[in-house]
């Protein structure tokens, strides 16, 4: 189990770079390079021990992992070089908690005055 977790963990940097910056595509003569935020997490477990009464030996095992990506935009090549174009949906989703927290803080501040 430990060797598997170490191998997965060691390969994450190459996955992240490949997923964060996708394959370049050409559309209508413009080069497009997609960009995303990528996060991974892995866990593992192991066991083996005696039962509290000492009658049997315990065993165990386990493992898991997960990840997510958020497409935040793309670099689009043009006559003056590449330009970053954000994904408006991702910006709205990412900004919603910040706007909510700011509004809550302002309402508390104004109420206390």
Distance, in Å, from the CA atom of 15 to the CA atom of 30, rounded to the nearest integer, reads 26
Q: Nearest CA to 34 among 70, 73, 86, 69?
A: 73
The b-or-e profile of 66-94 (16+ CB within 10 A means b, else e) is: eeeeeebbbbeeeeeeeeeeebeebeeee
pLDDT in tens, the chain (113 residues): 456 667 766 766 666 666 677 788 888 888 888 888 877 777 777 777 666 666 666 677 777 778 777 888 899 988 888 899 998 988 888 788 889 999 999 999 998 86
pTM above 0.85, yes or no: no
């Amino acid at each position: 189990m430990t060797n598997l977790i170490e191998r997965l963990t060691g390969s994450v940097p190459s996955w992240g770079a490949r997923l964060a910056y996708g394959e370049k595509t050409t559309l209508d003569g413009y080069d497009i390079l997609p960009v995303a935020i990528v996060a991974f997490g892995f866990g593992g477990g192991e066991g083996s021990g005696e039962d509290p009464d000492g009658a049997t030996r315990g065993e165990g095992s386990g493992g898991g992992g997960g990840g997510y990506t958020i497409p935040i935009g793309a670099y689009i090549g043009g006559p003056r070089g590449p330009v970053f174009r954000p994904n408006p949906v991702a910006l709205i989703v990412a900004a919603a908690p910040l706007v909510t927290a700011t509004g809550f803080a302002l309402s508390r501040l104004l109420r206390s005055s």
